[in-house]
Amino acid sequence: MDILNSTLKDAVHALRTKQYTSCELAQTCLDTIKKFDKQLHVFLTVNEENVLKEAKTADSLLAKGVEKPLLGIPIALKDLYSTENLLTTAGSKIIDNYVPAYDATVVGKYKKAGAIIIGKTNEDAWGHGSSGENSDYEPTRNPYDTSRVPGGSSSGSAVAVATGMCMASTGTDTGSSVRLPAAYCNLVGIKPTYGRVSRYGIIPMASSFDTIGHMTKTVYDNAYLYEITAGYDPKDATSVDIPVPKYTSFVGKDIKGIKIGIPKEYVQAPGMQKEVRKLTENAIKDLESLGAIIKEVSLPHTDVAMACYYILVPSEISSNLARFDGVRFGHLRDQFGAEAKRRIMLGTHALSAGYYDAFYKKAAQVRTLIKQDFENVFQDTDALVMPSSPTVPFKLGEKVSDPLSMYLSDIFVCPVNIAGIPGLSIPCGFADHLPVGLQIVGPQFSEERLYQIAYAYEQIHEWYREIPSLLKDKI
Q: From the CB of residue 274, how many other CB atoms can be counted at a distance below 10 Å?
A: 8
Buried b (16+ CB within 10 A) or exposed e, 285-309: ebbeebebeeeebebebbebbbebb
- The residues near 402 (Cβ < 8 Å, ≥ 6 apart) are none
* Residue of 176, 177, 198, 318 marked catalytic: 177
78 catalytic residue (yes or no): yes
Nearest to 219 by CA among 461, 385, 412, 3: 461
Nearest to 382 by CA among 475, 256, 473: 256
153 catalytic residue (yes or no): yes
* Residue of 22, 78, 176, 399 marked catalytic: 78
CB 389 within 8 A of CB 269: no
Dist. CA 95–CA 331, nearest whole Å? 7
Taking CA 386 as the corner, what is the angle to CA 368 and CA 256, rounded to the nearest 5 degrees?
Answer: 105
Taking CA 438 as the corner, what is the angle to CA 434 and CA 442, rounded to the nearest 5 degrees?
Answer: 160
**What CA–CA distances, in Å, run from 220 to 151, 172, 250, 418?**
23, 20, 10, 27
Taking CA 420 as the corner, what is the angle to CA 415 and CA 423, rounded to the nearest 5 degrees?
Answer: 70
* Residue of 22, 82, 135, 153 marked catalytic: 153
H helix and E strand count, the chain = 16, 11
Q: From the CB of residue 5, how many other CB atoms can be counted at a distance below 10 Å?
A: 11
Catalytic residues: 78, 153, 177
